[in-house]
Every structure is written in C-alpha cells, then in structure tokens.
Amino acid sequence: MLRRCSGYPVCVIFKGFQLSLDKMVGEPVNVNEFQELAREALPKMYYDFYAGGAEDQYTLKENVEAFHRIMIRPRTLVDVSRIDMSTTVLGYKISAPILIAPTALHKLAHPEGEVATARAAAACKTIMVLSFTSSCTVEEVASGCNAVRFFQLYVYKKRDIAAVLVQRAERNGYKALVLTVDTPRLGRREADIKNKMVAPRLKNLEGLLSIEADSDNGSNLEAYAKETMDASLCWKDIEWLKSITNMPILIKGVLTGEDAIKAAEVGVAGIMVSNHGARQLDYTDATINVLEEVVHAVRGRVPVFFDGGVRRGTDIFKALALGAQAVLIGRPVIFGLAAKGEYGVRQVIQMLKDELELTMALSGCPSVKDITRHHVRTERERLHTML
C-alpha cells in the first residue's frame, strides 16, 4: 500500500520494507521526469496548484511546445575542449545563465520550503528570486545560507505593506527587487477553483495584513487576491518604488515591445519576459515567441531575462540565441523540491547545466557570449524559406 513516509515522498510499505517511489521507477534522467515524481508525492490540490495554468491552459502548453518549433543551427570545427557557461546578472557572477524564478509556497512541496531551495541555489552558484508569497520569511531564507538573492514584490492596495517588505529585504541583504506587473487581478485557475484551494497564511505578512477571504465559490487564493491586489498600479509608480529602496528594480511580466520601451524609459535595471507561467491570461503568446520582440525594442539599454517553459538545456540555448541574458526556471524547481527536497532542486539545476554544456559543445559555442542569433532558426524563418 501507499502512504507518506515522514511526509515526503510517497513510499511503498511491503512486508516491513520501505521503498521510495523514485527508487521504484529509477532515477530521473531529465527534468520532465521530476514532474511525475512530484505528482505522486503531492496531494492533488497542491500538485494542481503548482502545475496548472489559466482557463483552457492553451498558453501553458504553448510555453513548452513553442520551443520545439525552433531549430538549432550548429557550427562545426570549433575548439570546444573547454566550455564556459558562466555569466553575470546585474554584475553578480553565476555558474550558468539559469536563475530560480519566484514561485509561491514551497512548504506545500516540502517541509523545509524556500530555505531548502535557497541552499540548492547557493550550492549551484546561482541566484534565487524569493517569492513575495513564500512560505518562509525573508529573514529565514536570508539566514539559511550565504548567497546572492533577489526579492519579488507584488504591490497591494495598502502600499505601506510593500514599503515594509522592501525595507526588510534590503536590510537582510537581498540585492535586487523583482516587481511583478502582470497581476492587477488573479488569473482564472480553474483547477484551484474546483479543488477549493486553500493556501496557508503568508508568514511575510504576519502583523501587516489580516484578511479572511471567503472561498465558498472557489479558491481562497482568488478571493484573497480580489481583496488585496492593487489594480491601480501603473508606470508612474515605478518612481515611487525607486524612492523607497536603493536596490535595482527589474520588472517581470513584459510581453510586448511597447511595454519594453516604457520599462527602459522609466529606468528599470532589467526586464523579465514572462506570462506568469501561463497562470494569468490564457491565449497570450508563448514567451519564447515574444522574446525577440522585447530584445529588439530595448536595443541593449537594459538586460532582458526569460521566463516560461524551460525544460531542456536546448531551451536555454535557444533563449540565449534570441537575446536573453539568462533564463528563470519555476515549475521544475518545485517538482524537484517535492520529489527530493534540496537534493532534488540541485539535481534539476545540474541536469539543465549539463544539457546546456552539451548543447554548446555540439553547436560550436565554447562560451555563452559565443551563442548568437545565427545559431537558431525560428518557425517563421523556416516557413519563409519555403515560400
């Protein structure tokens, strides 16, 4: 029979022996296989919360599948005896162009929550963006290990909440602020509505906010967001945010060249091309399809980062070729955490690094700076050559 062993992961109890599920099915050999381990390890409500997207989930599927329509153009007879994947983000050196995206409520996936994720990021010599809606506090994550980390911010109707959290993040050594700009309201996540998803109280907001959200007609996440999110947030408020912090500000949730130009004009330190993991507005383009539009719009004035659908090292290579400075990974980190805790997160990141290194070698790119636009052909370009 199946039951939980000390909470995580699911184990089989048979004639006095315990066999962890991952040992039964074999060690995962790629990032996608962690998703099935997470599905088995988590209660359905929590798995659906992490894995699900908005409405028909068209964009959720497209975020991944759009990568499949981009082809790599490898170059040969290049010295690739040494591969250097290292790069910098806002001046901080990281081992590979892979950051951990802000994702909510890690303790629903594993008892150690974001503290375990942060340790894994530090071990892999990369940057974690701590979610505003984290299970662990800003202070707990900061004290868990010594590493560069950023803090994600949502702006609530009560602006003083944002100010307090920004000050706490800055005081605890966070190096940048990632303002999420695509959430004036919460997207319609139908799995959460059906499951009547109930999220625990956010520890970061203890003593700052007290709202009991009625979830009789669906998820309490949706009800909570309606009560708290500031739908009036607009471009002029970037100046207000700059006035309350010395941290550089990146904005996450840009999908058009027009918004990218505005972001550069208001002086942000970076842009994250993202559709919120396809959890907000369905039938937006896959993020890889709009990345180049954003890159062209800013003309090198600010760095552009990419978020959405990365599951392979080849995906990272394609995003870099289309102009991203680095990519962010969200769900794969959660699935690794749910399956194997800190070790699972480290495995996920290492798998992607190993795949990227191999892709670079086979494509004739000894360093990240050697990956250029000439190394990929998009679907549009392939169709054009057929005309």
Query: Is 310 one of the annotated binding-site residues?
Result: yes
Query: Is 131 one of the annotated binding-site residues?
Result: yes
Q: Which of 106, 276, 296, 375 is catalytic?
A: 276
Query: Is 309 one of the annotated binding-site residues?
Result: yes
At 313, list the tokens: 């090292």
Active-site annotation holds for 384:
no
Query: Is 252 one of the annotated binding-site residues?
Result: yes
Query: Is 385 one of the annotated binding-site residues?
Result: no
Q: Which of 343, 330, 331 minimizes the C-alpha distance to 119?
A: 343
Rounded-to-5 percentages of helix, strand, coil across the chain: 45, 15, 40
Bridge-based pairing state of the strands 376-377 and 149-153: unpaired
Q: Which of 361, 333, 358 minimizes the C-alpha distance to 345?
A: 333
* 293: Cβ contacts below 8 Å, ≥ 6 apart: 256, 257, 260
Query: Is 39 one of the annotated binding-site residues?
Result: no
Round to whole Å and give the CA distance between 172 and 150: 11
Query: Is 187 one of the annotated binding-site residues?
Result: no
Query: Is 308 one of the annotated binding-site residues?
Result: yes
What is the DSSP track for 287-354?
Answer: HHHHHHHHHHHHTTSS-EEEES---SHHHHHHHHHTT-SEEEE-HHHHHHHHHHHHHHHHHHHHHHHH
Task: State the sign of the Cα–Cα–Cα–Cα dihedral 382, 317, 257, 152.
Answer: positive
Q: Are the CB atoms for 275 and 59 separated by under 8 Å?
A: yes
Query: Is 380 one of the annotated binding-site residues?
Result: no
What is the DSSP track for 16-30?
Answer: TEEEEHHHHH----S
Query: Is 344 one of the annotated binding-site residues?
Result: no
Query: Is 311 one of the annotated binding-site residues?
Result: yes
Query: Is 75 one of the annotated binding-site residues?
Result: no
What is the DSSP track for 79-105?
Answer: --SS-B--EEETTEEESSSEEEPP-S-
The C-alpha angle with vertex 345 and arms to 340 and 347, in degrees rounded to 5, equals: 85
Query: Is 207 one of the annotated binding-site residues?
Result: no
In Å, how far are 4, 12, 28, 371 from 24, measured between CA atoms?
A: 15, 9, 11, 39
Query: Is 134 one of the annotated binding-site residues?
Result: no
Query: Is 279 one of the annotated binding-site residues?
Result: yes
Q: Which residues are catalytic?
A: 276
Binding residues: 102-104, 131, 152, 154, 180, 189, 252, 274, 276, 279, 307-311, 330-331
Binding residues for FMN: 102-104, 131, 152, 180, 252, 274, 307-311, 330-331
Binding residues for glyoxylate: 154, 189, 276, 279
